[in-house]
Structure 1
């Protein structure tokens, strides 16, 4: 029996549901006969994002996952950024011969224990759950993943990687004291591998990280990484190293990203966590490492300056429908006797789609009066709408043509 591929094209969630509702585009197309179980939340060091052009190894995203049996609206967000000043040169006397030794001293620099004390309360675990449904209505094996992130605003917004939360049905944030709180996915930029979450429970935030200036980083500068390598058992682990290169073109998933290279130890589970300078400021988001036999100490982080330019859009809530979907191609339509269109594999509780009466197994053929055959086509139409609009949908359920009205809220 052939199974459908659940590799997604795009992912959104509903703002009002703590259990997370999903966008019309969580899952995209079918492929051969294998189920791709949430390939964006990388399970372990064996899962590879993209091979490098040489034989040294492959770039591996550093999120962690395990299998378990069984139009935008938003307000202003405040976050703190700090630009580093130039490092001055100070003179120190040698204890041996009194000769003057010239050594650089960073303004306001702090030692590693002080960095940890300052920043670690703002670093969080990002725990995800994902469940997909086959075309026959059976739930596939659920998966639970974990990555890292950090609180960057007093409003409870959290930065992490897109690949940490992609395909997730439910998201929770874990504070460094082990307390878990509910969160929702606000927005994301898949190309930049960035996502913003918002803590939805009414809790006191343990801390807010300060964003620094990645352009001022120098090769050889000491940095610190805080995150959750290998899962919850190692929550808040601290590693340190140096900046190996400030600008590396790294190919990941077929696209080139300009990243900071560091020899700071980064492992699965560290994805989304902060790379921190000597002032205790976040200068990067840890996202990948080079993995292979004999390879050590080659990790990559997204420069924080590349992130801050996108924050204005990332804190705006995406409009979502609350469905997980797949494309039905002509070949699959003929094989399974269903129409070409967008097949619904899951409908989130309390979502727009559930309120409109959509169910798993429905195949959407028209969206807002326009014929749709792919997730991409549906999303393009959806993105033209705003909060408060009503969208008419035509779909097929058990061979019968049906209609529904979805009100965006």
Structure 2
């Protein structure tokens, strides 16, 4: 009994003063909410750079003198920038911290979106679009890393929030860009430039987070650098890269060309923007629910197959009867594009640590986006050469077969740390 009393007394004495605990807890709670809002705001700004352009692409082409092949190159610019700048993101994060890099990314998005609306020629327009997409690229890679590092017990819900906000931003830009442009006088420059306002709001939030977290990179802060994995040895990493690249091909063709496909079928410009918005808005609820469901399962192969089947049906319908079943095809392709939140979730699940997620995210997205570059260009060339959408849509349908095969390999319950280490090294350890 005395021993028990002594233990209880020591526990009581070791507690911090009660008046200090609520303040610390409340401060951490408010900072966590601010952080979550900042992540959602950043995600919201990752796609309007692209989807605001799709409904206005014809106006931009006519004003800047772009041919269909060059317009196809424009739809491939996101993949090129994401691949090139995505590889650089982890190194920058190690030097100054991922929060600082994402903050810089928001600044690049804001500046690029605003400045390109004043471009007087195709080259300048492409260059400033690339600046905005560089910001998107580093944020694409590092936001899953930020989630893994600062929300390790809530990866599924936070990836869901991130994916839902990304889909919402994508859908809003697709839906309101045309009517917003008309309300601003009909000039595409205003319709594209206005999205810089949302980028500026996200930048302010991330500046607050940067100040509050006072984060430093491993090199700047003197912390030990994480172990660098020989990630190219991992079959799961290569499978994720392939899956990511092929889903990105389809997603950016849809975002860049879907409005044109419906317009060529005789559907009005305003309605095509709404149809593109439907495709994107489908991803809002699905992108929130899917990562949670996927994170609870040992593997995600069922989701890989279901999403691929939706895509094949959507492309086939779009080729056969684009106007007759326009709303159904928009919904099916929206579901197919939810391969993006699925692959983000798998990236978070296939590594054990934040450092591993950083390497895997950079590798899968960097390689994946480079793989996706030829697709939009080829689609633009096929459309320009034939004047029809049968061949481009057939090509996209075929791509879903290898996408599904890569996805089935990537969806199995594995960790890259186990695959990247040579069996002899594991035995020695």
TM-score (norm 2): 0.24
Structure number with higher strand proportion: 1
TM-score (norm 1): 0.25
Larger relative contact order, structure 1 or 2 (CA cutoff 8 Å, min sep 6): 2
Bigger fraction of residues in helix: 2
